Amino acid sequence: MSAPTAMPSVKVVDASALAALLFGEPEAESVAEQLGDARLVAPSLLGFELANVCLIKSRRHPEQQSALTAAFRLRGQLAVEEVAVDHDGALGLAAATGLTAYDASYLWLTRQLGADLVTLDHRLARADASSRR
């Protein structure tokens, strides 16, 4: 009889962290270490946010548009489960924390799942840390 395998932890990951991985930003290694072998979850708006990051980078560096688009298309390999978020709950958190409704959706999901948050967004990280006190 084999020993039971431990279930991977669940981590909510935001677009800033995933963009670092996809687009080879300096923080990519740190993000990868934080994610480890966790089950990754994000609000269903994630694809739009990553598309917007790709668009902004492409506008700033038009000579890299092909490479950036190719990197964006690799997002499915990150195996992030996208889930619906309660919009009323996210709106309430946004109002209470000063975050955008988009960022508050990550915080809402983190609270719902009792999960850790992986983000490079300092305001979102502060809101998450203060909600855990």
Judged by DSSP in three states, 23 sits in: coil
Fold of 10-126: Rossmann fold (3.40.50)
Q: What is the DSSP letter of 73?
A: G
Residues in the chain: 133
pLDDT, residue 130, reads 87
Can you state the percent helix, strand and coil of the chain, rounding each to 5? 60, 10, 25
| Domain positions in the chain | 10-126
Please report, in tens digits, the pLDDT of each residue of the chain (133 residues total).
Answer: 555 555 569 999 999 999 999 999 999 999 999 999 999 999 999 999 999 999 999 999 999 999 999 999 999 999 999 999 999 999 999 999 999 999 999 999 999 999 999 999 999 999 999 877 6
Q: Largest alpha-carbon pair distance within the chain?
A: 57
